[in-house]
A and B are shown apart, each in its own frame.
Chain A
Amino acid sequence: MKSILRNAMLPAIALALSPGVHAAGEHGGHHGGDSIGEPGKAEDVSRTIDVTMLDNYYEPESISVKPGETIRFRVKNDGAMVHEFNIGTADMHEAHQEEMEMMVEHGVIKGDKIDEDMMKMDMGDGKTMEHDDPNSVLMEPGETREIIWTFTEATDLEFACNVPGHYQSGMYGDIDFE
């Protein structure tokens, strides 16, 4: 029964893992772009932004970037819960939330713990539940990680934690384009 369940969730997890470089869905916002950007190179970094994750909100709650800018996000989980820092559009976050819901249901995320072994487990066809998108980090309390990201064009973006309930209760921040 368990293995059937796991297999059944594979396509969804695979979706979560594909770096969604292009924003799905439409956004009537003022920016009009549809690219969330791409993984950046260390040598292109123009500045570092420190982001602290707390239960359940970010500090800061909005950041300003310029199109073409490459930023190093130094993200620290200062909360008592598992949190995510994920760059995407509201629709992408919504889609990802369903997958995270499954990860919680299957015990991959348990409150303040991530079951790394379960995430790395080979699901039978070389795929795993690893959460290693370049636009996202999923962290236990106390961890600090970095993302280097190049914002290619002005798009309606948010950084968000898609652990169930966190985004909905307010764990998101706005990315404003100058």
Chain B
Amino acid sequence: MCRATTSPACTAILILNKRVYSMNKRILAAILGGFVSVAVHAGEYDISVDRVQIDTGDFVKEGIGYNGASPGPTLRFKEGEEVTINVTNNLDEMTSIHWHGLILPFEQDGVPGISFPGIKPGETFTYRFPITQAGTYWFHSHSGFQEPNGAYGAIVIEPEGREPFRYDREYVVQLTDKHPHSGDRIMRNLKMSADYYNRQQQTVGDFIDEAGEKGFMATLKDRMMWGDMRMMKADIEDVQGFTGLINGKGPEQNWTGTFEEGDRIRLRFINSSAMTYFDIRIPGLEMTVVQADGNNVQPVNVDEFRIGVAETYDVIVHIKDKEAYTIFAESMGRSGFARGTLAPEEGMTADVPEVRDAPLLTMADMAGHMDHGDMNHDDMDDMDHSDMNEDEMKGMDHSAMGHGDMDHGEKSGLPEDPFYAKGSGLIPTASNGGKFLSYQDLKAQKPLYEDREPTREIELRLTGNMERYEWSINGVKYEDADPIVLQYGERVRFKFVNETMMTHPMHLHGMWSILDVGEGKWNPLKHVISVAPATTVYMETEVDAPGEWAFHCHLSYHAAAGMFRKIVVEGGPDDEVATDEKADKGGDA
């Protein structure tokens, strides 16, 4: 039952053993009498799902929240606790809550149609599960577009032992991209016209300017080439026009966390956006990244970092004076931003930087889209876009291709990041010229699993047709796809090949995603793996959770369009698949 390499239960027992020495005899006896009876902390929590008003400062919008507000409350759990959470649906539609990143029995995972039928209007559903991990996570509805409409909140889990950090105070910094349109309306508009919300399209004016610089034919060819791909260089964010919120507050409302001079502050960043990646910095402060997706990482000092949709990063900052500092989160495509402040007292503010120029996608970002067969996807290090399919490239005027290089020429001397295509327009740089966090920097602080060879590899091509706003995996959308069947006990290597020009944050429920950063046993555990355009990224998963799970792109409208799979884990610790209670599954995963 207790498999030495993988079982969290084993870890727990080890910790218990360690702690036994400091416990008194009575508790020791209790432990020896039966492990299970160790004073388990049990907490009960009530959450109501409500219609709420969301005021961003730019607009007021009806939405969905928890306990009367959006975002909902921050749930604070303790590792080892048995939680009971009563969720009451006050809406006139079905709802659900998914505990994002939590390792739990699949019936508690909250995905309608996969883990349970969902929660009917007026009904109270009681979730019960043990908390087997620590760190920063979040929760959100997995029904329809309730999450983009406001149904999300934070989860903070205190570890059983001490935190391997020192800080004086902490704040959750939960970001979202609140849009004035409802999720349903956005999806309808995207289906009607994929560029409906793309305000950064290049205009006739741009064309004339560019033609003046580069010549009419070169510019025309450049445009036609991108037109052929049904993509545009500005296709970095397909839903623009949002207001970035921090803990529910827009830039003008300025969420503020207070501190005292000399404090070390832990900031728990959570990106609860529907569609938006943010580049985050606090001008004047270095940030030490200590945790990613709830798992402690070997600390990295950075000036700026990019947070993918549904990811979390914990950083520690040390403020030695009594000044105010701006938390500035620009969207990756620079179409919007979120802003908050750290200040010695409420009301103090610091300068809010200008949003930098929008990046443009380059030839490198379209490589995966143009060429599915010949590119070498086997080895990220070897990825060389000069190997790109000659046939498709032939006849193209290479001066037209130079466009990307021209715009990003200043980046040519910078170190490459294997998690972006070579020459990608998306490679981030720190605004102060300093250190920008890369996936490469993420190394587990304390590996949870023993490193071992994967038992097999599964290739997942991330595919789509931008014009029809269809998103899929291996060219097949969710409703037409068979589940991916895994066997309990195997270690699967997933190979993501992004053949689209958008970045996809892939989220596997129920089991950890071990991101391959080339560091063997130090490869970090995550729950979201961001895959940039024209790149191949690997992750491995120890299949240690029986049942049925969701696996999808966490961009709300991509998931809804079909970039989604059901995972079925066959077998289990007792070699029994729990399939009998799933008769009445239905719903809207």
Chain A residues at the B interface, C-beta cutoff of 8 Å: 54-57, 61, 80-81, 111, 164-166, 168-172
22 contacts between A and B (CB under 8 A): A55-B164, A56-B164, A56-B165, A56-B445, A57-B164, A57-B165, A57-B166, A81-B298, A111-B298, A111-B443, A164-B299, A164-B301, A165-B300, A165-B301, A168-B288, A169-B166, A169-B288, A169-B290, A169-B299, A170-B166, A170-B264, A171-B166
Which of these, B166, B300, B445, contacts A61 with CB under 8 Å?
B166
Known A-B contacts A56-B299, A111-B522, A170-B264; the reply to A165 vs B288 at CB < 8 A is: yes
CA–CA, A111 to B443, complex, Å? Answer: 10
| B446 within 8 A of partner (CB) | yes
Chain B residues closer than 8 Å to A170, beta-carbon distance: 164-167, 264, 316
Chain B residues closer than 8 Å to A54, beta-carbon distance: 164
Q: Which residues of B in the span 417-452 have a Cβ within 8 Å of any Cβ on A?
A: 443, 445-446
Known A-B contacts A170-B164, A170-B316; the reply to A165 vs B446 at CB < 8 A is: no
Chain B residues closer than 8 Å to A164, beta-carbon distance: 299-301
Chain B residues at the A interface, C-beta cutoff of 8 Å: 162, 164-167, 264, 286, 288, 290, 298-301, 316, 318, 443, 445-446, 522
Chain B residues closer than 8 Å to A169, beta-carbon distance: 164-166, 288, 290, 299, 316
B164, B286, B445: residue with the most chain A Cβ atoms closer than 10 Å: B164
CA–CA, A157 to B445, complex, Å? Answer: 28
CA–CA, A55 to B316, complex, Å? Answer: 16
Q: Which residue of A lies closest to B166 (CB)?
A: A170
Which of these, A55, A166, A168, contacts B446 with CB under 8 Å?
A55
CA–CA, A61 to B290, complex, Å? Answer: 19
Chain A residues closer than 8 Å to B301, beta-carbon distance: 164-165, 168
CA–CA, A30 to B99, complex, Å? Answer: 48
A-B pairs with lowest CB-CB distance, top 3: A165-B299, A170-B166, A168-B288
A80, A111, A168: residue with the most chain B Cβ atoms closer than 10 Å: A168
Known A-B contacts A57-B165, A61-B166, A111-B443; the reply to A168 vs B298 at CB < 8 A is: no
Which of these, A61, A80, A111, A166, contacts B299 with CB under 8 Å?
A166
A165, A166, A172: residue with the most chain B Cβ atoms closer than 10 Å: A165
Chain B residues closer than 8 Å to A171, beta-carbon distance: 166
Q: Which residue of A lies closest to B314 (CB)?
A: A169
Chain B residues closer than 8 Å to A61, beta-carbon distance: 166
B165, B166, B443: residue with the most chain A Cβ atoms closer than 10 Å: B166
Chain A residues closer than 8 Å to B286, beta-carbon distance: 168
* B359 CB → nearest A CB, Å: 27
Chain A residues closer than 8 Å to B264, beta-carbon distance: 170
Which of these, A57, A80, A168, contacts B318 with CB under 8 Å?
A168
CA–CA, A54 to B300, complex, Å? Answer: 17
A168 and B164 form a contact (CB under 8 A): no
CA–CA, A80 to B164, complex, Å? Answer: 13
Chain A residues closer than 8 Å to B443, beta-carbon distance: 111
CA–CA, A123 to B75, complex, Å? Answer: 55
CA–CA, A80 to B522, complex, Å? Answer: 11
Chain A residues closer than 8 Å to B300, beta-carbon distance: 164-165
A55 and B445 form a contact (CB under 8 A): yes
CA–CA, A54 to B164, complex, Å? Answer: 8
Chain B residues closer than 8 Å to A81, beta-carbon distance: 298
* B211 CB → nearest A CB, Å: 42
CA–CA, A168 to B318, complex, Å? Answer: 8
CA–CA, A131 to B209, complex, Å? Answer: 58
